[in-house]
Amino acid sequence: MASWLLSECGLRPLPQNFPRPRTGVLSNNHSKIRFLHSNKSLRDPRFYSTKISSGCSRRGSWELKVSTPLKVASLEGEEKRGESINGGVNGVAEEERFDPGAPPPFKLADIRAAIPKHCWVKDPWRSMSYVVRDVAVVFGLAAAAAYLNNWVVWPIYWAAQGTMFWALFVLGHDCGHGSFSNNHKLNSVVGHLLHSSILVPYHGWRISHRTHHQNHGHVENDESWHPLSEKIYRKLDSITKALRFTVPFPMLAYPFYLWGRSPGKTGSHFDPNSDLFLPNERKNIITSTLCWTAMASLLVALAFLMGPVQLLKLYVVPYWGFVMWLDFVTYLHHHGHEDKLPWYRGKEWSYLRGGLTTLDRDYGWINNIHHDIGTHVIHHLFPQIPHYHLIEATEAAKPVLGKYYRKPKKSGPLPFHLLGDLWRSLKQDHFVSDNGDVVYYQKDPELNGTSKLK
């Protein structure tokens, strides 16, 4: 720790040329003389200051304040404290313990510097190739299912097509972040075509998702799957609680979120006057709502043309499969880790600390299909990186992130292991305290009894 402090101050420690004393003052564990500061710790938030710049690529920074030591611990005192320093708690050394809610010993710029320069390059031709591939697969699956028209085939088609609808969403998601290309018009056109085809209002979603990234990990200001405060949670009726925390209902929430957002928040992604949007964004919302309405009208026309049952089989069931994928993946990016992850308020929150509470997930064969969206930590910190560079960027950043990066469990061909993480989280992660700037999810035992989640 001392070496780290000196290096941060731009100093190099002097070589230790002094001989080891022959007396028994120093034990064999090589305890070191410590500088003691009265009631201060390196993890005291007052030692840190965070600077956030505007935009999705906000950079967080911290500064360590070093003061003159008030007292030098004696060797005898250090010997007596040897157990607490070297043995730690329950035999774990102090330096080995990890507090996920503590400010990290690195800056956003340190992570950025570790990522190769070519990972930031956006190739519109490569991005468009993924669009062509996915659209071709979508139409191919629909044509094959309609031709075979067999009840053995339909369930396979629904699972495959729902996954492909989800892949289309991820590409539109890249357009919304500007990681699809540097051409704003191209991003907007492709984003509208992809998202409208699966009944997502492109600009409405894009803006609210921007809010999510700019406030990730903040209890009140986050937009996607943010925790409920205990006060809001206690006001929910029993039916709402059961629907929110009982499988499969949370996995069907997305269309309802588009119209009414989450408990405690108001507004609609379709309403240009919603408090989600700024006045100068209203034209964009009107455009996206009109595109959504055009797609809905097309579906109604197709129902008359091919019959409602055929439309149900070809589009409606896969659509709900897409919704389940979206809710499943986005929920597990921020919940369900085996250790509790912090949420922040007030001065404790920063863009960097909030982003470090996101999780990478392994989806097996699905990784390539849904464009590696499970590689999520680096995406949250730097959403402008194209999806095809996320894995390489993550590998480069791991040495800087250290324990703040939580390695995902290895998946089989299909990510069935994540169902357990989802189930466990919905049983335990119900609300956070109304007080405190670093909080963790708490469990409502009464809900577990009424919802039969045991």
Domain residue limits, the chain: 117-450
How many Å apart are CA 244 and CA 426, to the nearest integer? 9
| More reliable by pLDDT, 231 or 451 | 231
- pLDDT tens, residue by residue, 180-238: 999 999 999 999 999 999 999 999 999 999 999 999 999 999 998 889 999 999 999 98
pLDDT of the residue at 454: 35
How many Å apart are CA 232 and CA 74, to the nearest integer? 52
Mean pLDDT of 275-295: 96
**Percent of the chain topping pLDDT 90:** 72
Contact status, residue 161 vs residue 142, Cβ threshold 8 Å:
yes
Residue 344, phi then psi, degrees to nearest 5: -125, 160
Contact status, residue 386 vs residue 179, Cβ threshold 8 Å:
yes
**Percent of the chain topping pLDDT 70:** 77
Q: Is the pLDDT of residue 31 over 80?
A: no
Alpha helices, H only, 35-82: 75-80, 82
| More reliable by pLDDT, 60 or 119 | 119
CB count within 10 Å of CB 47 equals: 17
Q: Which residues neighbour 208 within 8 Å (Cβ) at sequence distance 6 or greater?
A: 223, 269, 276
- pLDDT tens, residue by residue, 292-334: 999 999 999 999 999 999 999 999 999 999 999 999 999 999 9
- pLDDT tens, residue by residue, 66-100: 333 333 333 344 333 333 333 344 444 445 688 99
Mean pLDDT of 422-439: 95
Contact status, residue 342 vs residue 100, Cβ threshold 8 Å:
yes
Q: Is the pLDDT of residue 23 over 60?
A: no
Residue 430, token pair as written in the block: 């119900």
Chain mean pLDDT for the chain:
83
Q: What is the pTM of this model?
A: 0.78
| More reliable by pLDDT, 145 or 43 | 145
Mean pLDDT of 423-428: 94
- pLDDT tens, residue by residue, 332-377: 999 999 888 999 999 999 999 999 999 999 999 999 999 999 999 9
- pLDDT tens, residue by residue, 146-158: 999 999 999 999 9
